[in-house]
Structure 1
Amino acid sequence: MARSSRYHSPYDADDLDWDLRIMGLVLLSLFLSLVFLLTREIIAEFAEKPEFQISNLAVSNLTVSRDLALTGNWEANFLVANPNKNLPLKLQGIRAYIYYHNKHTKISQRISLGQPVEVPARQERVIRISRMRVEQPDDVIVDEIHKRMNENSAVIFGLRLAMEASFRVIGTDLKFWCSSDCMRLRVELEGVWPPYAEAFIDGDGKKCLTSLVKKFWGGGEETSGGGT
């Protein structure tokens, strides 16, 4: 009875060893990617949101015409703080809105600030907003503002900032939409001619309520310390 024999190539063991090495590298790469993603998500989860504080709000040349057209030049200064220890912050596409009494009666807006505001970790920057475009609210609102102007009365305004923000986390950007509401800002109207008003804010400023919505990851350039 003939005995069967099998030929073993001297390269079989080397090929198997090479395949195992490739598989090991693939598994190691997947493991490191998973660790990177988990680390990034954990850092993002515990990132502290930026803090906004309005330090000045003023309006000059506030007038109401006979046909109840409202005009004026608004200016506001914000202090934005980045409380995070190792995460640079960038704010861009900043839009500002002035409201009368509440969030539903918009009377002025600044569409966008062209220059991004970059806030290094544990630092502060000032956002300056000026030349805001006046929108026309209902005639009832304009008439009420005009009445208070004639009486040299205080008027309550609100101001909202809306923007895209991002934290730099391990070489990538954690982006989110950010809004900051500063309500109940008491503005004292001083005379009708020339009309002028400025905000009276207790202490060094008034903190604003900040909310973050719709976080998403995206690539980005390296941020550098700076500001406007």
Structure 2
Amino acid sequence: MQNPSTPATGYPYPGQPAGTGNGYPPPPPGTTYSYSYYPYNAPPPPNPRAILFRRILLFLIALGLIFGTIFLILVLVLRPSLPNFYLNSLSLSNFNSSNNRLTGNWEVQFQVTNPNKKMSLSYEEVFCSIFYDSDSLAQTRISPFNQGTKDQTVLNASLSVVNTYVDGKVTDSINKEKARGRVGFDVRVMSLLGYRYGGWKGRRRVLVVWCEDVMVGVSSSTGSGKLEGGAKRCRVR
């Protein structure tokens, strides 16, 4: 017989409902507890081609930034300027316009100045053209040339047409001006312009020179004439 003063060691305790060991009632029949298992998915290994592509892209971006910075520094330090063009003289001979036909010889002289103190200039693919309004009358090619810093160059061009067809409205307009003793022409020069500083060469650009409203006094009897008003500064872009 167990001593009443000794703690009970069996289950259930006196007065405790059967089926529990913590004093709480048992769960209702059919009640279960489940635990879901989520397997750990390791990330896929990096694609070597994608890594190589990213590295190449970063390298190209860095290279572009480096060259862009160098170019910006050169531009800020050197301050490249466009050349100055002056039309010194223009003479016309054997000029005749009739029956939609045009004949004439133009002798043109320019003075070209390189205003840059640190950069030399090169002119390639040089073309000179004579226009009447927006109609091209004659064109010729000029030899390429170079200019050192602060250099001045005299540039000559000879243009001619012989019995060349032109639109009737052009000859009519020219003859009206010629009857008044002067005809206005436009002179254009186009070239590939390059900059050089020591061993560094800048990217070439297209140079366009316009000498507009060049008035030439023309004799109706001889068809010859010369530039009126002296040298004329041309627009450069």
Inter-partner Cα distance in structure 1 for 2:84 and 2:152? 9
Deviations 1:48-104 (A, max 9, x none): 111111101111100124x3310101111011110001111011111111111x3x2
Inter-partner Cα distance in structure 2 for 1:123 and 1:78? 14
2:139 is matched with 109
Q: Which amino acid aligns with 2:138?
A: S
Q: TM-score, normalised by structure 2?
A: 0.65
Identity of aligned residues (%): 23
Residues 90 and 119 (structure 1), Cα distance of their counterparts in 2 relative to 1, 3 Å cut: same
Unaligned runs of 5+ in 2: 1-61
Unaligned runs of 5+ in 1: 1-29, 212-228
1:124 is matched with 152
Q: Which amino acid aligns with 2:74?
A: I
Q: 2:203 aligned to 171, 174, 192, which one?
A: 174
Structure possessing the higher relative contact order (Cα contacts under 8 Å, 6 or more residues apart): 1
- The answer to whether the 8 Å contact 1:107/1:136 transfers is no
1:62 aligns with 2:95: yes
Displacement of 1:152:
4.8
1:190 aligns with 2:219: yes
2:177 is matched with 148
Counterparts of 1:1-228 in structure 2, within 5 Å, are 34=66, 38-44=69-75, 46-65=79-98, 67-100=99-132, 102=133, 104-110=134-140, 112-113=141-142, 115-133=143-161, 136-149=165-178, 151-169=179-197, 170-192=199-221, 194-202=222-230, 205-211=231-237
2:15 is matched with none
User: Aligned Cα RMSD in Å?
Assistant: 2.4
Q: Flag the structure with larger Rg.
A: 2
Number of residue pairs aligned between Structure 1 and Structure 2? 172
